[in-house]
Amino acid sequence: MYLHNSAHEVELSNEESYYQIKILETSNSRKTWNKGLAEIQYEYNTQNSSRFISKKLLFYTDSNSIKLISEGDILLLSSKISEIKNNGNPGEFDAVLYWKSKNTNLLTFFDYTDFSILKNEPISNKNTLRSTLIETLKKHLPKSQVGLAQALFLGDKSALSIETKNAFSAAGAMHLLAISGLHIGLMILVLINAFRFFSRYISRYQATCIVILFIWLYAYLIGFPPSVVRSVFMFSLITLGALFSAQKNQLNLLGFSAVVLLLLNPWFLFDIGFQLSYLAMLGIFLTYHQIQKFYIARNRVTKLLWNGTALGLSAQIFTVPLCLYYFHQFPNYFFLTNLGIILISGILISVGAGLFIFTWSPILSTGIGFALSTLLYFLVYFIDFIEKLPGSVSKGFEFSEFELLGIYFLVLVLVLLAIYRAIPLLKYFLTIVLLGIIALHRYHQMNETHLILFNNNTFCFAIHTQKHIYFFYDDSKENEFKFHRLMESYEKCYPGEISMLSVKDKNISTSFKKHRIAYQTLDQKKYLTLNQSKFQIIYDNSAQKTQKENQIGMPWIEGIETSLNKPIIFPLP
């Protein structure tokens, strides 16, 4: 990573410049702004000089421009480029960490007036095949199901609605929307069983080679995301090892695949999917048989259900702390969700593969498309059912890195005690300690009292107290929807019943737990008063600090001495 960073440490000029970029990825989600990934190749400044730059660039462009460009195109771009930054508000998506895992830290916005195409690359065979598969889904599925099918079979979540993502997240089924070990493992199982019908013509060795080749082609088709690369590489090793009766130590295979992938691309280390994927496999390898022994099934159906439950539980043991750290919430019925997914996903993948294979036959493809649509309907119905169960999601988990390491230390000790059959009383005691630490931390988050000024492009603040959130925003009531996502993220860390109030063109004053809070506009200046402290809210760069009141430079403004790139929190004891 050090060598890689040294080769790419190039500072971009602050002066007006033109950039030659190569388009690496695009996504047409039919939204106002569509994102993509590019590589900056050259920078040209006003002195007609140029220099070579090799840095990745995240870009957003309008719906008209995205239709003009495709992967491989070379563009000449005139646009302001800045670093990717987080707003820092509680519970919000960590964009810096996410794009860091893709070795990307630059961002730009442009439309069709900001670029010209220097080289139009013909559409690749991969994109042609991908477009064909998407058209097949659109032809045989209702419009409302196409986005979900694209996520399930092609790993493309750009067409999913926010409501669908939230429902899968609340039910603990987000891993189903990201192609991972579950998909690859089921795919291998389905293909190997299918080849058994042709055992007279295809040997076991040939069938295995065809299956491995197929899953690598599939990984290429969906763009080699880290979780898929890990899964494909890992299952390839396991499948070949079983075929040649070679090394069967699964932990060694897991570690070997991790080392190889990190040598090829060290940035995988920061990828959340990569981390969760390896931790899930580690949990399965270490604890699945231990959990399975808790109950001896008497018949085939019960055995199938229990084995599925044990598999889901073992996969969660090492992933739960990291999920709480990143996403601040826990799906309480995850074992039901995983059990339902295990039962339906094998059939779903088989039927989906059948639709792509028999798309040449109008009769077969129509029948298979109807079956797939029915399965997707039941999947969505099942996820909605889980989401709407009482207490489906627990929120209020926010750990520091140090606390996360402490939790993992206790989890690892418990797993080792279980493997080596240590004193049961010690295991129960450590389990209670671990759950108690998490519960007390959550209790503190739920009952914390504070005033928070959000890092947002419209001034807004909230008071959190005793499981209630009073949210105030300086905008009209008609624009309240703009703040819903902000509050959804905030509530993950500090749960509570939300009350929203517009304070546009209003002066308010309230007392709370012996604290006086006021918001008012005087002489076209906005002030927030907390007890005896009065703060002026600054919206422009020309403001100068005075002795009369404290000035809060809003986080998105540059050039103010007090500006911050994070929210401001005032504890209210």
Q: On the CB side of 370, how many CA atoms lie within 13 Å of its CA?
A: 5
Average pLDDT, integer, range 268-276: 84
Is residue 100 predicted with pLDDT exceeding 70? yes
Which of 413, 447, 481 terminates a domain? The answer is 447
Question: Residue 60 belongs to a domain with what CATH number?
Answer: 2.40.50
Alpha carbon distance 275, 272 (integer Å): 5
pLDDT in tens, 493-512: 999 899 999 988 888 888 87
Same domain membership, residue 367 and residue 237: yes
SS3 20: strand
Which of 71, 92, 122 terminates a domain? The answer is 122
Total of domains in the chain: 4
Q: Cα dihedral sign for 20, 24, 29, 30?
A: positive
Least confident of 136-145, 165-174, 410-419: 165-174
Question: Helix 401-419 vs helix 272-292: angle between axes, to the nearest 10 degrees?
Answer: 30
- Main-chain phi, psi angles of 19, to 5 degrees: -130, 135
Which of 122, 155, 173 terminates a domain? The answer is 122
Confidence at residue 229, expressed as pLDDT on a 0 to 100 scale: 80
Confidence at residue 201, expressed as pLDDT on a 0 to 100 scale: 80
Average pLDDT, integer, range 426-445: 86
Alpha carbon distance 253, 233 (integer Å): 10
Query: 220 pLDDT band (50/70/90 cuts)?
Result: confident
Is residue 545 predicted with pLDDT exceeding 60? no
Same domain membership, residue 475 and residue 425: no
Same domain membership, residue 152 and residue 84: no
Given a contact cutoff of 8 angstroms between Cβ atoms, the answer to whether 51 and 43 are in contact is yes
Confidence at residue 47, expressed as pLDDT on a 0 to 100 scale: 67
Same domain membership, residue 174 and residue 37: no
Same domain membership, residue 428 and residue 285: no
pLDDT in tens, 8-35: 566 666 666 789 999 988 876 666 788 8
Average pLDDT, integer, range 356-371: 88
Confidence at residue 555, expressed as pLDDT on a 0 to 100 scale: 63
pLDDT in tens, 225-244: 766 787 888 788 877 776 76
Is residue 556 predicted with pLDDT exceeding 70? no
**Residues contacting 101, CB < 8 A, separation 6+:** 226, 267, 268, 269, 270, 271, 272, 274
Domain ranges, residue 423: 401-447
Alpha carbon distance 305, 433 (integer Å): 30
Same domain membership, residue 271 and residue 226: yes
- Main-chain phi, psi angles of 32, to 5 degrees: -60, -45
Query: 59 pLDDT band (50/70/90 cuts)?
Result: very high
Burial of residue 387 (number of CB atoms within 10 Å: 0-12, 13-18, 19+) = buried
Same domain membership, residue 283 and residue 144: yes
Closest CA to 411 of 295, 279, 507: 279
CA dist 378 → 120, 136, 162, 180, 314 (Å): 43, 21, 19, 21, 26
Q: Which residues of 233-244 are buried (b: 16+ CB within 10 A; e: fewer)?
A: bbbbbbbebeee
Average pLDDT, integer, range 246-261: 79
Strand partners, 38: 23, 57
Alpha helices in 388-450 (DSSP H): 401-419, 424-447
Is residue 121 predicted with pLDDT exceeding 90? no
Confidence at residue 9, expressed as pLDDT on a 0 to 100 scale: 60
Given a contact cutoff of 8 angstroms between Cβ atoms, the answer to whether 267 and 102 are in contact is yes
Average pLDDT, integer, range 269-285: 86
pLDDT in tens, 317-335: 899 999 999 988 888 888 7
Same domain membership, residue 338 and residue 274: yes
Between these two residues, 208 and 556, which has the higher pLDDT value? 208
**Dmax over Cα atoms in the chain, in whole Å?**
90
Same domain membership, residue 376 and residue 412: no
Q: 343: alpha, beta or left, given left = phi > 0 and alpha = psi -120 to 50?
A: alpha
**Residues contacting 116, CB < 8 A, separation 6+:** 75, 76
SS3 432: helix
Mean pLDDT of the chain: 82
Average pLDDT, integer, range 108-128: 83
Alpha carbon distance 17, 76 (integer Å): 10
Q: Which of 162-176, 291-305, 367-381, 528-542 ranks highest by mean pLDDT?
A: 367-381
Closest CA to 83 of 101, 57, 60: 57
Q: pTM for the complete prediction?
A: 0.82
Query: 370 pLDDT band (50/70/90 cuts)?
Result: very high
Same domain membership, residue 385 and residue 305: yes
Same domain membership, residue 559 and residue 489: yes
Same domain membership, residue 281 and residue 185: yes
CA dist 275 → 22, 113, 220, 311, 324 (Å): 29, 40, 21, 18, 14
